[in-house]
Each structure stands twice: as structure tokens, then as C-alpha cells.
């Protein structure tokens, strides 16, 4: 396995490239289900948002809920699927999906970090006890090719400035009018 990228790639360096070819081990109805990147991206327009971890405050109170809220607007603007990716195992992602009541989102557990490493977004959050995790970003992928990426700035903490659902929706359709965000209470 190559070393973790100590610097984040520029979004423009990834745009126009294929997503990494990996297999996700997921859980559906308490059964294992293998999902490939082709299953997710082939002949589809997909919005992916990646985050450091399931059940974390920003991810649970803002990032995920807003994508779930705006799912019908994304669909009306040509998006076939919204996927949430995190370097967590299938059990954690499945439990988080149930807790969040997010039926409009496909949860992709990148347990080994293969996809995240392949896209250059694997970071070391050992200082927080998290180990290797995904940096926060979002991307629009058409038929497996990254059209647009929004990568959070490389600074201390957990920035959440550009990978949000509203920014992505405005990129897809600058005239789209989104309802105001609902308030979500983080239960942690």
C-alpha cells in the first residue's frame, strides 16, 4: 500500500479522472453485499460526499442530513444517486444510516480506506484517536469520471465550508432554489 498523501490534491487535478476501482463490503438486511465502483457509478450521475466518520457531530447534524433533505432536488436536476462515503466498516455505516433515517442516501463503507487512498484523500487523524480517515469533500461523478470536486481547505480541525449539499446543488444548477435547512440535533 502506498503511503498516505501528506498533502491534499487540488480538486482540478482529480477532475476528468476515473474514480478508483474498488469493492465496498456493505450490509443489506443483515447480509453481506459486495458493491463495486461500477455498481455505484457506471452509467449514473452520482453525487458523493465523504466525511471523517459516522456518528461525528458535523457529519450527523449537518453534512448528511442536508444531502438527505435535498435529495429530491438533486434527482430533479439529473442526479441518479447520492452516496455518503466514510472510512468506517459496514456495521458502523449501516447503524448510522438507520439512526439518521436517511433513505435517500447510499452509504459506502470504505473500511480499509482503499477508495479514499486511491483518490488521494486519506489523512491521518491519529491525534484525535481516529486513525486513518477521509478528508471531507464532495464530488459530482458522471459514468465513473469526476466532473467536479469540492475539497475542504487543508487547515486544522474539521473544516466544513465547500463540501455541503447547497454548494453542490448550486454547481449542478445555479438557479435551483433550495428550502432553508431544517434544524438537526446531534444526539451525541
Q: What is the pLDDT of residues 149-179, one digit of tens each?
A: 999 998 877 888 999 999 999 999 999 999 8
CB 58 within 8 A of CB 16: no
From CA 179, how far away is CA 162, in angstroms rounded? 18
Verify whether residue 186 is a known catalytic residue: no
What's the pLDDT at 19? 98
Each residue's pLDDT expressed in tens, for the chain with a length of 188 residues:
444 555 788 888 999 999 999 999 999 888 999 999 999 999 999 999 999 887 765 556 667 889 999 999 999 999 999 999 999 999 999 988 888 889 899 999 999 999 999 999 999 887 877 779 899 999 999 999 999 999 999 887 788 899 999 999 999 999 999 988 887 555 55
What's the pLDDT at 1? 40
From CA 74, how far away is CA 156, in angstroms rounded? 31
pTM score, whole prediction: 0.90
Q: What is the pLDDT of residues 56-77, one digit of tens each?
A: 655 566 678 899 999 999 999 9
From CA 3, how far away is CA 178, in angstroms rounded? 40
SS3 string of the chain?
CCCCCCCCCCHHHHCCCECCCCEEEEEECCEEEEEEHHHHHCCCEEEEEEECCCCCHHHHHHHHHHHHHCHHHHHHCCCCEEEEEECCCHHHHHHHHHHHCCCCCEEEECCCCHHHHHCCCEEECHHHCCCEEECCEEEEEECCEEEEEEECCCCCCCCCCCCCHHHHHHHHCCCCCCCCCCCCCCCC
From CA 153, how far away is CA 161, in angstroms rounded? 8
From CA 9, how far away is CA 122, in angstroms rounded? 11
Task: Show me where the domains of the chain are located.
Answer: 13-172
Of the candidate CATH numbers 3.30.420.40, 3.40.50.300, 3.40.50.10490, 3.40.30.10, the domain formed by 13-172 belongs to 3.40.30.10
From 48, 50, 54, 59, the catalytic residue: 59
Amino acid at each position: 500500500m502506498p503511503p498516505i498523501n501528506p498533502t491534499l490534491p487540488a480538486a482540478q487535478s482529480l477532475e476528468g479522472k476515473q474514480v478508483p476501482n474498488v469493492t465496498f463490503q456493505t450490509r443489506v438486511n443483515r447480509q453481506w453485499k459486495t458493491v463495486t465502483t461500477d455498481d455505484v457509478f457506471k452509467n449514473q450521475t452520482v453525487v458523493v460526499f465523504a466525511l471523517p466518520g459516522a456518528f461525528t457531530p458535523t457529519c450527523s447534524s449537518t453534512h448528511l442530513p442536508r444531502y438527505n433533505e435535498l435529495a429530491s432536488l438533486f434527482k430533479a436536476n439529473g442526479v441518479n444517486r447520492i452516496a455518503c462515503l466514510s472510512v468506517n466498516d459496514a456495521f458502523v455505516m449501516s447503524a448510522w444510516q438507520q439512526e439518521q433515517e436517511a433513505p435517500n442516501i447510499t452509504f459506502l463503507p470504505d473500511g480499509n480506506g482503499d477508495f479514499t487512498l486511491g483518490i488521494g484523500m486519506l489523512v491521518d487523524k491519529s491525534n484525535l484517536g481516529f486513525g486513518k480517515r477521509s478528508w471531507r469533500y464532495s464530488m459530482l461523478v458522471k459514468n465513473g469520471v469526476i466532473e467536479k470536486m469540492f475539497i475542504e481547505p487543508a487547515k486544522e480541525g474539521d473544516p466544513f465550508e465547500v463540501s455541503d449539499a447547497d454548494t453542490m446543488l448550486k454547481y449542478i444548477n445555479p438557479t435551483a432554489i433550495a428550502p432553508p435547512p431544517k434544524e438537526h440535533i446531534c444526539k451525541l
